[in-house]
Amino acid sequence: MQGKTGGTMVEMRNIHKWFGRVCALRGVDFRVGYSEVVGLVGDNGAGKSTLIKVLSGVFPPDEGEIVLEGRVVRFSSPRDAMEAGIETIHQETALVDTMDVRRNIFLGRELTYHLGPIELLDLKRMAEESARALREVGLELRSAAASVRELSGGQRQGVAIARAMYFKTRLLILDEPTNNLSVKESNKVLQYIRDLKRQGISSIFITHNLHHVYPAADRLVVLKHGEKIADVDREDTSIEELTHLMIA
Amino acid sequence: MNGTPLARKAPATPMLVKRLRGILQVKETSSFIMLLAAVLLFFLLSPRFLSLNNIAVILEALPEVGILAAGVTMLMISGEFDLSVGSVFAFCPVVMVSLADLGLNIWLAMFVSLALCCCIGAFNGLVTLKIKIPSFITTLGGMMLWRGIVLLITEGFPPEFPSEASTLRAVLVGQVGLIRLSLLYFVALVFILWVVLERTRFGNWTFATGGNPATARVLGIDPRAIKFRNFVLTSFLAGLSGLIQASRLRAVLPSAGQNYELDAIAAAVIGGTQLSGGVGSVIGGAIGALLIRIIDNGLVMAGAPGYWFRVFIAIVLILAVILNTTIREKAQRMRY
């Protein structure tokens, strides 16, 4: 079943993953198109996280391959995946609470300048660029030097998404982005995802809450016991049908 | 009703509040306030406290616990502890003097003993990070182990400070006017470590490692490599400060540095470093070390019995944590 937004950006073919004798993924095929929002749903233990960890370079598949824009790729670390334009946002690991916004946005990819042989952080440019990145996602913060601890859950997601967009991520994986968020803030996150799509960035929205993902997704993929049991465009299905698939 | 749109407009932050918030957000504010308070208190108790001679006395021993505290601060920010620094402090000069005794050139002996200290740090790091034992335990073991080895080497008697070490002594702790060279090294070191921590990638990654190692890992930083380097740095600085004290006292005491591990942690915490990692300041740690020196000296000048020392440190320590926490919260709430 083709997504409505055109060609395939990334495709995972026949992915298998075992942990000891436990089989977490049994031959899953999964694809994401350009500018497409894919909802990845399933109950706890269905294999959602494992599939995403394979895609984002946390660990390699035991069988199967990943094809990015027509070429087979092997990621040996999340860093490799990031360099290929695939970035994951996970609430607990997205930001360092004790650091300010600009340092978070540029963490691991700091802007620097040289003072003789010494390489120093360019905090001023990092603050300016952060402010620009935050404006892109429509997030108004008092200052890019504010501590992340001061931010609400939705604002934190906004900072993480701003970071991904700043670094030209082409596929953003959002792992349970609406967990523990108020209704208002969840809606804000959904808005971010729509904005991403408008800017040509694909995203995978992982959740066990169909009500959050359904309005935002172009296509929904349901995993169960490590197998893909459904892969449907949103207009061809309904929340009721998907719920039935997930729990049946 | 028509007042609502106006009221919703956020009022511009007044300049004064902005500036105050700026000051409160400086990590070193609370330790600096306590430093001023302690200076004032001891000056009132004994005006001689601020005499030039006495200031020289206070600063004379400052680099020893100060350099130690600078290393411990870095390590704590990265999220680990080192309780073995006090023993390494004694170990380094003992090894240097023993090697010199065996006929090794004193400079070479110093180089070897400092290199051994780095190895101790590397050992602490490897055991903690590879075998995943809490550093509190690893370095508690190290504290006993290295003190024990110091006692084994010396059999409990302080070896003689070698006469050929006079040049080394002049370089480490030579007198320049009222102060010793070691104070200049200390100030330079604090400045360098401040730059490293606040203005380099390594420093940024040290904060991230202590703040949230999982985030660091996701963003391609190896928290273990960062911690490892801080372990090595801490042990190296512990050895260096041990050499400075031994040179100053012209004595290599097997009991040197006892309790210094706790003083160093106290200095770091007074300076705003959090036990949980991710937050801290090298300058704060230096202020904390100075505060400890001032309390030590000020009580003597005021004629108080020495027992008061620990009581005062305890009060300052707890006060510092309370101040740091409340000031941070206040600064965050001052949005308007």
H/E element, A116? none
Q: Does B200 touch chain A (CB under 8 A)?
A: yes
Which residue of B204, B212, B278 is in closest CB contact with A93? B212
Neighbours of B86 (CB within 10 A): 25
The predicted structure's pLDDT at residue B137: 95
Beta strand pairing call for A227-233 and A219-224: antiparallel
Q: Phi-psi category of B12—alpha, beta or left, where left has phi over 0 and alpha has psi -120 to 50?
A: beta
| CA–CA min distance B233, chain A (Å) | 19
| pLDDT (0 to 100) of residue B12 | 61
Per-position pLDDT tens, chain A of length 248: 344 456 899 999 999 999 988 889 999 999 999 999 999 998 888 899 999 999 999 889 999 999 999 899 999 888 889 889 999 998 888 999 999 999 999 999 999 999 999 999 999 999 999 999 998 888 888 788 888 888 888 889 899 999 988 998 999 999 988 888 888 888 888 888 888 888 889 999 998 888 888 988 999 999 999 999 989 999 998 888 888 888 77
- What's the pLDDT score for residue A6? 65
In chain A, positions 44-83, which contact chain B (CB-CB < 8 Å)? 77-79, 82
Taking CA–CA distances from A83, the nearest residue in chain B reads B220
Contacts with B201 from chain A: Cβ below 8 Å:
110, 112, 119, 121
Which residues in chain B land under pLDDT 50? 1-9, 336
Nearest CA in chain A to B203: A121
Tell which CATH classification among 1.25.40, 3.40.50, 3.10.20, 1.10.3470 matches the domain B27-331: 1.10.3470
What single string gives the DSSP state of each residue in A164-228? Answer: HHHTT-SEEEEESTTTT--HHHHHHHHHHHHHHHHTT-EEEEEES-HHHHTTT-SEEEEEETTEE
CA B14 from centroid of its chain's CA atoms:
37
Q: Where are the CATH 3.40.50.300 domain residues in chain A? A: 1-85+170-248
**Looking at beta carbons, which pairs linking B306-314 to residues 24 or more positions away fall under 8 Å?**
B313/B263, B313/B266
A with B: how many residue pairs have Cβ under 8 Å apart?
76
User: What pLDDT score was predicted for residue B2?
Assistant: 42
Tell me how far apart the alpha carbons of residues B246 and B259 are, in angstroms, rounded to a whole number: 16
What is the distance between the alpha carbons of residues A146 and A133, in angstroms, rounded to a whole number? 15
Q: What CATH number belongs to A1-85+170-248?
A: 3.40.50.300
Nearest CA in chain B to A105: B219
Alpha-carbon distances of A232 from A41, A229, A247, B3, B194, rounded to whole Å: 12, 10, 17, 51, 56
The reported pLDDT for the residue numbered A113 is 95
8 Å CB contact of A78 and B195: no
CA distance B315 to chain A (A): 26
Nearest chain A CA: its distance from B283 CA (Å): 18
Q: Is residue B8 less than 8 Å (CB to CB) from chain A?
A: no
Residue B103 CB burial class (10 angstroms; 0-12, 13-18, ≥19): exposed
DSSP state of A65: E
Chain A: closest CA distance from residue B274 (Å): 10
Question: B195 — contact with chain A (CB < 8 Å)?
Answer: yes
Instruction: Say which residues have a Cβ less than 8 Å from residue A103's Cβ, sequence separation at least 6.
Output: A96, A126, B204, B207, B208
Per-residue pLDDT tens for B276-302? 999 999 999 999 999 999 999 999 998
For residue B205, the chain A residues in CB contact (below 8 A) are 107-108
> Which two three-digit tokens encode residue A74?
């092997």
Instruction: Pull the structure tokens for residue B230.
Output: 């801080």
User: Which distant-in-sequence residues (6+ apart) come within 8 Å of A14 by Cβ?
Assistant: A27, A28, A29, A63, A64, A65
Q: Can you give the pLDDT at residue A191?
A: 87
Chain Cα centroid distance, residue B160 = 28
Within 8 A of A97 by CB-CB distance, chain B residues are: 211-212, 278
Separation of alpha carbons A153 and A141, rounded Å: 13
| Domain regions of chain B by residue span | 27-331
Which 3 state secondary structure label does DSSP give A117?
coil
